[in-house]
Amino acid sequence: MNEIWKQLYNAAKQKLNPKVISPFVESGGVAAAVLTEKGNIYTGVCIDTACTLGMCAERNAIANMITNGESKIIKLVCVMGDGTCGYPCGACREFFMQLGRDSANIEILTDLDGLKTITLGELLPNWWGDHLWEH
């Protein structure tokens, strides 16, 4: 179990590559990796724009996953520019929750050295959409 967290962390950290693309766009300051139900890892980096229409690393990883035909995430790692693990922002939390009924169970790594995790449900309790899933 610990190995998969290290593998996810390393997959995300390898994508960290802060760079200026234009006077309006920067990318790669944060990276993320998701592990799917099928055991595949998808990564993404943040794309920051002057007009705020950029994309977080987590949502970029989700787009990569969906492009490759998957939609169920088991684990998530967000790597900040300084190498620490981060938490998904509110918009990303909401996006993850809307992917599927079991999204509250997604495990998020919060500390690599201590292998500490939290679930998405703990970060977003009493989610407004829970009652909409077919029971």
Q: Which domains does the chain have, with CATH numbers?
A: 2-129 (3.40.140.10)
Contact present, 5 and 75 (Cβ < 8 Å): yes
Enclosing H/E stretch for 7 = helix 2-13
Contact present, 78 and 88 (Cβ < 8 Å): yes
Q: What phi and psi values does residue 127 have, to the nearest 5 degrees?
A: -60, 135
pLDDT of residue 2: 87
Tens of each residue's pLDDT in the chain, 135 residues: 589 999 999 999 999 999 999 999 999 999 999 999 999 999 999 999 999 899 999 999 999 999 999 999 999 999 999 999 999 999 999 999 999 999 999 999 999 999 999 999 999 999 999 888 865
pLDDT of residue 133: 84
pLDDT of residue 1: 58
